[in-house]
């Protein structure tokens, strides 16, 4: 039993009778009984401080609303003042109860009621234990533990996410250059459900012993007090019996932990060395790493973060089990779920701050090592596929590996390419970013060698087929686009899709002054004249769009297609108007674009999604 410094006690009473309470403590009989009945885990297992502070906020707001419904203003104001001290953390020493108690959190609710009642009585000039301010009749008026505890769970979680976790994630996001954006969005998306409060449902969701409108008013009071958009839950039964909002929030934290685990491990492995590992990154050296191996330095921040991630994942399991155990009108895993979620929020927030400050900010690239590993990589052979084919490229890689030589040496030895050809194709700098719009168009159209007539006469079908083969996730809303559509619409504003421009739209664009100026400046009017009108209207507006998007000189683009254009024109002349072409004829837009891509070392296919 807790005792005062001088060992003195006072007598407190509840429905079970009298019980001695340390005279210097503000709690009452029910808190004291809980201390005796749930001696589990010791002080480290006490109810989290954010829950205690949230109780202070809630009881203050309840007193404010209850005064509107008849609570004695003198008592109400004293309760509000005492509750404010709880909310500010001034009375934390008077909340000794552990998490492992009744599953509804009743003991902690009564702990708050008793502390606030005794403190309010003191403020009114009375002694503790006299119950001038009653813990149930006054402080807990219009409330039940079954709706107050889930309410403080939501208040505490929402406040901690907003004040502790999101700011640190945004800071890390800034330092890592957008690598944490989805984590921030995912956590933020759980807040609307956490802003829904159970208060007003009382014991089982019916609102027994409360007043009409109490739920709306107390949610508004909490929102005003916290400056967060809390509202009353539409379904009080769900708010008491299930805690899906907590499971959802924990799921977002669990996903964030999985992402952090990967980030930390990637940095740890890339920083391994300095002589036997990858050694591509140089990590900050913050402290000695070994008590026996001199000079050893460990990736300690990565290790700390990964351990935090493991704990968060474990917490999520506990929360999942707790959330699945809402039986009939009440879930009785509330303290467990509250403790686990707040633990995860605190750990991830603190770990993100530590990782950003003590690791990420000080990371340096070991450029010499990176360059060495890059140019020794056998997988650079992939860029040879469009030129020599997959099988021959595989032979090159195997030969280089078996003989311990470079890819270039293996390629020339096999007689597949000259050194100049190899060097023009294998350019690592062109393999690390998004392909140009020109290459994308060439790649996707080449995947299906569409006859020219089919492209001109059935643009919608061409669009659908193209979309199947090239999936580019848009910057917003995750919609699917095709590269040709992105190229055309961005520059021309036309509604064409799949790189197919109708006769009407093509002619409209061809007649525009801007397009005419571009053509005139190109000095390649002969190439255009060689093509029939529908083909011309489809091809050149799109090429112009590609050229502008890729910041290529118009003349350069024409240089690449001039030869192909003449070839196509010759074939077209045999058939006359494109509508007369046989559907199996091989003359097609993809031919031109594919040759264009090959002349620019474009890849045979491209898969892209936004980072």
Most confidently modeled of 86-100, 162-176, 578-592?
86-100
Is the pLDDT confidence value at 602 over 90?
Answer: no
What is d(CA 175, CA 306) in angstroms, rounded to the nearest whole number? 19
Query: When comparing pLDDT for 121 and 176, which is higher?
Result: 121
Domain with CATH 1.20.200.10 in the chain: 154-207+226-366
CA geometry: angle 162, 168, 171, nearest 5 deg: 125
What is the band of 174 on the pLDDT scale with cuts at 50, 70, 90?
A: confident
In this structure, what are the phi and psi dihedrals at residue 513, rounded to the nearest 5 degrees?
-65, -40
Element (H, E) at 301: helix 300-323
Q: Report the b/e string of 116-155 with b at 16+ CB within 10 A.
A: bbbbbbbbeeeebbebbbbbbebbbbbbbbbbbbbbbbbb
pLDDT of residue 178: 63
What is d(CA 179, CA 307) in angstroms, rounded to the nearest whole number? 20
What is the band of 190 on the pLDDT scale with cuts at 50, 70, 90?
A: very high
Q: With a threshold of 0.85, does the pTM exceed it?
A: no
**455-478 pLDDT, tens digit each:** 333 344 434 444 443 333 233 222
Q: Which of 35, 48, 105, 104 is nearest to 315 (CA)?
A: 48
Domain with CATH 1.10.275.10 in the chain: 9-141
Q: Where does 9-141 sit in CATH, by number?
A: 1.10.275.10
pLDDT more than 90, % of the chain: 62
Q: Which CATH architecture has domain 154-207+226-366?
A: Up-down Bundle (1.20)
Domain with CATH 1.10.40.30 in the chain: 377-430
227: number of Cβ within 10 Å: 9
Q: Per DSSP, what are the bridge partners of residue 231?
A: 196
What is d(CA 472, CA 2) in angstroms, rounded to the nearest whole number? 65
C-alpha distances out from residue 147 to 290, 343, 347, 493, Å = 52, 22, 27, 56
Query: When comparing pLDDT for 437 and 134, which is higher?
Result: 134
Q: Per DSSP, what are the bridge partners of residue 480?
A: 473
Mean pLDDT calculated for residue range 578-587: 31
The domain defined by 377-430 folds into Ribonucleotide Reductase Protein R1; domain 1 (1.10.40)
What is d(CA 203, CA 362) in angstroms, rounded to the nearest whole number? 54
Query: When comparing pLDDT for 262 and 517, which is higher?
Result: 262
266: number of Cβ within 10 Å: 12
Q: Under the phi-then-psi rule, with left for phi > 0, alpha for psi from -120 to 50, and beta for the rest, what region is 28?
A: beta
């Amino acid at each position: 039993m807790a005792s005062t410094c001088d060992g003195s006690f006072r007598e407190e009473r509840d429905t079970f009778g009298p019980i001695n309470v340390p005279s210097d403590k503000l709690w009452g009989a029910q808190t004291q009984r809980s201390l005796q009945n749930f001696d589990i885990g010791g002080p480290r297992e006490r109810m989290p401080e954010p829950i205690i502070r949230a109780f202070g906020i809630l009881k203050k707001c309840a007193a404010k609303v209850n005064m509107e419904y008849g609570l004695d203003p003198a008592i109400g104001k004293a309760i509000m003042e005492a509750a404010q001290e709880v909310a500010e953390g001034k009375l934390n020493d008077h909340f000794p109860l552990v998490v492992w108690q009744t599953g509804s959190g009743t003991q902690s609710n009564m702990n708050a009621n008793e502390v606030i009642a005794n403190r309010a009585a003191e403020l009114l000039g009375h002694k503790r234990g006299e119950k001038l301010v009653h813990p149930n009749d006054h402080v807990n008026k219009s409330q039940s533990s079954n709706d107050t505890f889930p309410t403080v769970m939501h208040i505490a979680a929402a406040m901690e996410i907003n004040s502790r976790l999101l700011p640190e994630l945004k800071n890390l996001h800034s330092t890592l250059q957008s690598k944490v954006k989805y984590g921030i969005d995912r956590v933020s998306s759980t807040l609307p459900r956490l802003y829904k409060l159970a208060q007003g449902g009382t014991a089982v969701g019916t609102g027994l012993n409360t007043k009409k409108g109490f739920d709306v008013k107390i949610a508004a009071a909490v929102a005003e007090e916290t400056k967060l958009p809390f509202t009353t839950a539409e379904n009080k039964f769900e708010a008491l019996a299930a805690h899906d909002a907590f499971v959802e929030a924990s799921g977002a934290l669990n996903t964030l932990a999985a992402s952090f685990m990967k980030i930390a491990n990637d940095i740890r492995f890339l920083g391994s060395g300095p002589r036997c590992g990858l050694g591509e990154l140089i990590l900050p050296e913050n402290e000695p790493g070994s008590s026996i191996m001199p000079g050893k330095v460990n990736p300690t921040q990565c290790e700390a973060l990964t351990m935090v991630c493991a704990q968060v994942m474990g917490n999520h399991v506990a929360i999942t089990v707790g959330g699945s155990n809402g039986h009939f009108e009440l879930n009785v895993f509330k303290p467990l779920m509250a403790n686990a979620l707040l633990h995860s929020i605190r750990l991830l927030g603190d770990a993100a701050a530590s990782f950003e400050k003590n690791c990420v900010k000080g990371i340096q690239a070991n450029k010499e090592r990176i360059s060495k590993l890059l140019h020794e990589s056998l997988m650079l052979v992939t860029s040879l596929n469009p030129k020599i084919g997959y099988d021959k490229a595989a032979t090159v890689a195997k030969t280089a590996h078996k003989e311990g030589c470079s890819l270039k040496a293996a390629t020339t030895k096999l007689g597949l390419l000259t050194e100049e050809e190899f060097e023009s194709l294998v350019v690592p700098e062109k393999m690390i970013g998004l392909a140009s719009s020109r290459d994308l168009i060439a790649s996707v159209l080449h995947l299906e060698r569409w006859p020219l007539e089919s492209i001109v006469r059935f643009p919608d079908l061409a669009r659908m087929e193209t979309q199947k083969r090239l999936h580019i996730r848009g910057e917003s809303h995750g919609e699917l686009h095709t590269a040709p559509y992105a190229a055309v619409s961005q520059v021309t504003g036309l509604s064409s899709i799949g790189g197919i421009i109708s006769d009407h739209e093509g002619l409209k664009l061809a007649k525009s002054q801007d397009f005419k100026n571009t053509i005139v400046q190109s000095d390649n009017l002969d190439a255009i004249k060689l093509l029939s009108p529908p083909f011309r209207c489809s091809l050149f507006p799109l090429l112009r769009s590609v050229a502008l998007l890729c910041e290529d000189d118009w003349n350069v683009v024409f240089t690449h297609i001039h030869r192909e254009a003449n070839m196509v024109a010759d074939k077209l002349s045999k058939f006359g108007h494109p509508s007369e072409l046989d559907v199996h004829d091989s003359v097609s837009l993809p031919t031109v674009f594919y040759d264009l891509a090959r002349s620019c070392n474009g890849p045979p296919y491209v898969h892209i999604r936004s980072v």
